[in-house]
């Protein structure tokens, strides 16, 4: 990726709805070469998609919980069963497997504390291989950056 590709990517991460002509003006290209570069960034997997950002509270997902999960067993079957079960839970919006403790971090988004408590008891406690959990509730979002910063070449 050269400087122009990075500029294209930065502008699209800031506003994925930019028209190609606007984007071309912003990066100093004519529309055809700009579109070719965007298509190349898409086909090479640099651009993985375009998304609308929504207010979590407006869609009934305003209560966020960071759940630490420690596994009782580390065998392949248990890990695969746990991960397969987590992918089926709509309330889990992000799941990371970690080195060290905890074994997993799950971001859960639900309407409120009562819904989380029901979800926790009905679903999370029954996930395969779970030994311990620790729930942390979000007090305030201080910073939320869409996408990632684009490093200079």
Q: What pLDDT is recorded for position 68?
A: 98
Beta carbons within 8 Å of 88's beta carbon, 6+ residues apart: none
Q: What pLDDT is recorded for position 105?
A: 98
Q: What pLDDT is recorded for position 142?
A: 92
Give the whole-angstrom CA distance, residue 123 versus residue 134: 15
Beta carbons within 8 Å of 115's beta carbon, 6+ residues apart: 63
Can you state the angle between helices 3-14 and 31-43, rounded to 10 degrees? 80
For the chain, 153 residues long, give each residue's pLDDT as a single digit of tens.
899 999 999 999 989 999 999 999 999 999 999 999 999 999 999 999 998 888 899 999 999 999 999 999 999 999 999 999 999 999 999 999 999 999 999 999 999 999 999 999 999 999 999 999 999 998 888 988 777 777 776
Q: What pLDDT is recorded for position 153?
A: 67
Q: What pLDDT is recorded for position 140?
A: 87
């Amino acid at each position: 990726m050269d400087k122009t590709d990075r500029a294209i990517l930065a502008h699209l991460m800031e506003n994925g709805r930019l028209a190609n002509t606007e984007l071309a003006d912003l990066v100093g290209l004519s529309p055809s070469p700009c579109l070719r570069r965007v298509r190349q960034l898409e086909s090479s997997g640099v651009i993985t998609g375009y998304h609308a950002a929504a207010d979590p509270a407006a869609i009934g997902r305003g209560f966020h919980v960071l759940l630490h999960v420690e596994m009782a067993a580390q065998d392949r079957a248990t890990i695969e069963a746990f991960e397969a079960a987590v992918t089926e839970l709509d309330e889990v919006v992000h799941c990371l497997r970690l080195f060290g403790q905890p074994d997993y971090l799950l971001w859960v988004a639900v309407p409120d504390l009562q819904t989380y408590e029901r979800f926790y008891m009905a679903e999370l406690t029954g996930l395969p291989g779970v030994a311990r959990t620790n729930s942390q509730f979000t007090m305030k979002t201080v910073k939320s950056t869409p996408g990632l910063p684009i490093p200079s070449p």
